[in-house]
Structure 1
């Protein structure tokens, strides 16, 4: 039976990349610690999910899910040939995260997509990507230099969950992406754009809380998106616990 919880368990997907630490230099499942700090500060218990084994099977044990940023998705998944600037493709991560995403949507698990996470959601629902945004918008402001975030304003759409979380006025947020939504996936609504027209956030209309942003909220001072995810995870868990209490199995 479900039990009340103080900290909802929030799964966060990870990278697998070469890394150097102390005396070691070897492949590592890793995640920028900013995600951990944001989830913890928001009241959640972060659990890292590497792209190995069967991560989709974990969804029923999670109260919420974050698909984190990372390298580009194999364009074959949306019927395109690779652009010369499409890079850091990890097909094993694609396989794991698309399965994880599908399971989370089916379970109606509260979900936050970050950068690549938005793109996984969009492609999973039949959408496509612009593979190199400077070709479309004519500037590099969304990814100004390797390892450096670009501050650009986005405008949340009135009436959206995002606007309720962040407010309806334009807000400057940290960007680091050279790809973005082209054709929108089925059931998604655009809930923020940048001044150059780039789609910067989407929500899945049929889901209680499936919000995805193209920027990097983990690098922002404001933790409102993580707080909203944790609040929705707590609410969903409380509802499940109440239902289990009223209708215990076998009675």
Structure 2
């Protein structure tokens, strides 16, 4: 007897735009693809950073989850009303255009969301928050940057500082009994002002906000400042984040397909 195939949920991942052999190109780092495919058990769908190509309603009707990744680029400071970043700073206005248009619509439609590093910062800015451009220069702050780039890549993602988890939140559920865990840290920008409507899920020992969720969202929403995608094979919390995200996407898929049957 043939059984109907269980299709994987589809998760949209917004690409970075950069130059490759003098051509504009769109790409997502492999760590995110691995974590989504192998741990969340979803199908990653790379969305180009090309705003005019993307129809929001078509995308929302097709996907079961939305991921905003980390990136070498920074959110343009004009997005949160600050003076422009130095000319030497890497920015990606094409990704900004896509992320900032899609994210509010995605959240309103009830699509599960996971934001990592730049994606966490994009979430904060969408909700009216602002970013500190050089956390390490602020009194009392840790140096959250990745350190020596000559080290092997795997060492960039080693644990760097503790994460103090707020009780009663989404991250606390994923961390189990742990009130503090160790995480990696690869960023120089961070939350300056928290966006209205975001719940603090965790902080670093220096008080910097490291994780948030959307207070009003019924679906899974989580933004984290560290990089769990690179530690899914040896960090229980990283594995739990992607597992929970995948489960939320499967629930969304069931609801989406049921609505089509009854339409």
Instruction: Give the shorter-chain TM-score range.
Output: 0.7 to 0.9
Aligned to 2:130: 128
Alpha-carbon distance, 1:187 to partner: 0.8
2:144, 2:187 within 8 Å by CA — same for their partners in 1? no
| SS class of match (2:246) | helix
Write out per-residue CA displacement over residues 23-55 of structure 1, whole angstroms, 9 at most, x where no aligned residue. Answer: x56442111111111111121111111111226
Q: Note if 1:158 corresponds to 2:183.
A: no
- Unmatched tracts of structure 2, length 5 or more: none
2:12, 2:44 within 8 Å by CA — same for their partners in 1? yes
1:85, 1:132 within 8 Å by CA — same for their partners in 2? no
Aligned to 1:225: 241
Aligned length: 241
1:118, 1:212 within 8 Å by CA — same for their partners in 2? yes
Q: Note if 1:174 corresponds to 2:184.
A: yes
2:37, 2:43 within 8 Å by CA — same for their partners in 1? yes
2:135, 2:144 within 8 Å by CA — same for their partners in 1? no
Alpha-carbon distance, 1:130 to partner: 0.9
Alpha carbons of structure 1 residues 205 and 51: separation in structure 2 relative to 1, 3 Å: same
1:15, 1:50 within 8 Å by CA — same for their partners in 2? yes
Alpha-carbon distance, 1:150 to partner: 5.6
Q: Residues of 2 paired with 1:49 and 1:65: CA distance?
A: 10
TM-score (norm 2): 0.84
Q: Residues of 2 paired with 1:88 and 1:130: CA distance?
A: 15
1:64, 1:109 within 8 Å by CA — same for their partners in 2? yes
Aligned to 1:51: 49
Q: Residues of 1 paired with 2:55 and 2:107: CA distance?
A: 14
Alpha-carbon distance, 1:77 to partner: 1.1
Write out per-residue CA displacement over residues 187-240 of structure 1, whole angstroms, 9 at most, x where no aligned residue. Answer: 101101111111000000111211100111111133221111110011122234
Aligned to 1:214: 225
Q: Cα RMSD between the aligned structures?
A: 2.2
> Which stretch of structure 1 is more off in the superposition, 95-104 or 84-93?
84-93
Q: Residues of 2 paired with 1:86 and 1:209: CA distance?
A: 36
| SS class of match (2:94) | helix
Alignment partner for residue 143 of structure 1, among 106, 124, 146?
Answer: 146
| SS class of match (1:95) | helix
| SS class of match (2:184) | strand
| SS class of match (1:175) | coil
**Which 4+ runs in 1 deviate beyond 6 A?**
none
Alpha-carbon distance, 1:172 to partner: 1.4
2:14, 2:67 within 8 Å by CA — same for their partners in 1? yes
TM-score (norm 1): 0.87
Alpha-carbon distance, 1:153 to partner: 1.8
